[in-house]
Amino acid sequence: MTAPDSAARPSPVVPTVDYDQDGVQHGFLRLPYSRDDSAWGAIMIPLTVVKRGEGPTALLTGANHGDEYEGPVALFKLAGTLRAEEVTGRVIVVPAMNYPAFRAGRRTSPIDQGNLNRAFPGRADGTPTEKIADHFQRCLLPMAEYVLDVHSGGKTLDFVPFAAVHAVPDARQQARCAAAMRAFGAPYSLVLRELDSVGMYDTAAEAMGKVFVSTELGGGGTTTARSVAIAERGVRSFLRHARILTGAVEPTPTLNLGMPSDACYVVSEHAGLVEPCVDLGHPVRSGQLLARVHDVQRTGAPGIDYRARLDGLLVGRHFPGLAQVGDCLAVVAVPEG
Ligand code: ZN
């Protein structure tokens, strides 16, 4: 099916705030959603706009995936505390972007099974998840110069805390993204290589030339005091870097990492019980055992060894104790100068 009708149709999502008004406004993105328990109902996605005078706009989002919590914690708190007097320009805060997924504690939406970060550019006449994507694509992203999307591993992955950018074709944009990533000040800064970037919010923002930074700050479907502190400090540093908040960015030590090839990803070809053999953040050598997958259907079968394919650092790992065929077991990144 082609999408000319969708592209011509206005977004059905209506903000209850005025983006051009100075001050602090707490409101919603109202997405009509007719259903059994609310015939003319709507999904109400919380949003805060803080604006003062002229200046750049930053768009800050969490829970693009509903089971990742550093973003929502940091951004609900920021929305509740940020004062207009602190701001030059505009900050748009959407703490829980795929709100139905967030309320369900799931990566994807319980309504349409939509993975928002694979739904871009979305459709105005699509599912609720596609309508959210379309609204960000055509209404919110165009308003912003600086875009920060706070992720973590969710229920099935865990990461060392890193901020990330992708390699983009425009060297100037790449440098601006990398500078904003370093300003975020996570313990690790990674030039991320995606397995498949089609449909991602990242790709949409980068294609529009935005200064775009994402993160992976932890995982396992929860937060820690440390990961939340990294998110909160990072969000404020990002806004200082954009000169929307005054004050210098506090320099924080970060280790720069890259992902030179797909060999960084270790994917399970077996289902079973996972024995981690290296912990997150530890250095690994090519050939080193990273994890073993044990048969759970019988005793006496040898475990299957999964080894690093290059020298580096273990930055990501499978989180649940059981793995399926095709699960990402480990992610190795390589320190750069
Ligand atoms: Zn995510």
Query: How remote is the CA of residue 99 from the centroid of ligand 1, in Å?
Result: 13
Count CB-CB contacts under 10 A for residue 113.
12
Q: Which segments of the chain belong to CATH 2.40.50.100?
A: 262-335
Query: How remote is the CA of residue 219 from the centroid of ligand 1, in Å?
Result: 9
What is the C-alpha separation between 151 and 162, in angstroms, rounded?
10
Residues 6+ apart with CB under 8 A from 104: 66, 110
Query: How remote is the CA of residue 66 from the centroid of ligand 1, in Å?
Result: 8
Query: How remote is the CA of residue 166 from the centroid of ligand 1, in Å?
Result: 15
What is the C-alpha separation between 325 and 337, in angstroms, rounded?
35
pLDDT at residue 207, as a whole number:
97
Radius of gyration of the chain (CA): 20
Query: How remote is the CA of residue 238 from the centroid of ligand 1, in Å?
Result: 19
Q: Which segments of the chain belong to CATH 3.40.630.10?
A: 6-256
Q: What is the pLDDT of residues 210-249, one digit of tens each?
A: 999 999 999 999 999 999 999 999 999 999 999 999 999 9
Query: How remote is the CA of residue 152 from the centroid of ligand 1, in Å?
Result: 5
Query: How remote is the CA of residue 35 from the centroid of ligand 1, in Å?
Result: 28
Confidence band for 71, pLDDT divided at 50, 70 and 90? very high
Query: How remote is the CA of residue 294 from the centroid of ligand 1, in Å?
Result: 28
pLDDT at residue 5, as a whole number:
66
pLDDT at residue 197 is higher than 80: yes
Query: How remote is the CA of residue 1 from the centroid of ligand 1, in Å?
Result: 28
Count Cβ atoms within 10 A of the Cβ of residue 267 and give its class: 0-12 exposed, 13-18 middle, 19 or more buried.
Answer: middle
pLDDT at residue 194, as a whole number:
85
pLDDT at residue 301, as a whole number:
95
Query: How remote is the CA of residue 199 from the centroid of ligand 1, in Å?
Result: 13
Q: What is the pLDDT of residues 254-284, one digit of tens each?
A: 999 999 999 999 999 999 999 999 999 999 9
pLDDT at residue 195, as a whole number:
82
CATH of range 6-256; options 3.40.630.10, 3.90.660.20, 1.10.1740.10, 3.60.70.12: 3.40.630.10
pLDDT at residue 2 is higher than 70: no
Query: How remote is the CA of residue 116 from the centroid of ligand 1, in Å?
Result: 9
How many percent of the chain have pLDDT more than 90?
A: 95
The two structure tokens encoding residue 295:
């048969």
Query: How remote is the CA of residue 141 from the centroid of ligand 1, in Å?
Result: 18
Query: How remote is the CA of residue 266 from the centroid of ligand 1, in Å?
Result: 19
Mean residue pLDDT across the chain: 96
pLDDT at residue 303 is higher than 60: yes
Query: How remote is the CA of residue 50 from the centroid of ligand 1, in Å?
Result: 25
Confidence band for 8, pLDDT divided at 50, 70 and 90? confident
pLDDT at residue 3 is higher than 90: no
Query: How remote is the CA of residue 22 from the centroid of ligand 1, in Å?
Result: 32
CATH of domain 262-335: 2.40.50.100
Q: Which among 92, 88, 91, 93 is positioned nearest to 52, based on CA atoms? A: 88
Query: How remote is the CA of residue 12 from the centroid of ligand 1, in Å?
Result: 25
Confidence band for 4, pLDDT divided at 50, 70 and 90? low
Supply the pTM of this predicted model: 0.96
pLDDT at residue 186, as a whole number:
98
pLDDT at residue 1 is higher than 70: no
Query: How remote is the CA of residue 248 from the centroid of ligand 1, in Å?
Result: 29
What is the C-alpha separation between 270 and 301, in angstroms, rounded?
13
Query: How remote is the CA of residue 148 from the centroid of ligand 1, in Å?
Result: 13
Alpha-carbon 168 to chain mean position: 17
What is the C-alpha separation between 98 and 61, in angstroms, rounded?
10
pLDDT at residue 6 is higher than 80: no
Alpha-carbon 129 to chain mean position: 16
pLDDT at residue 105, as a whole number:
98
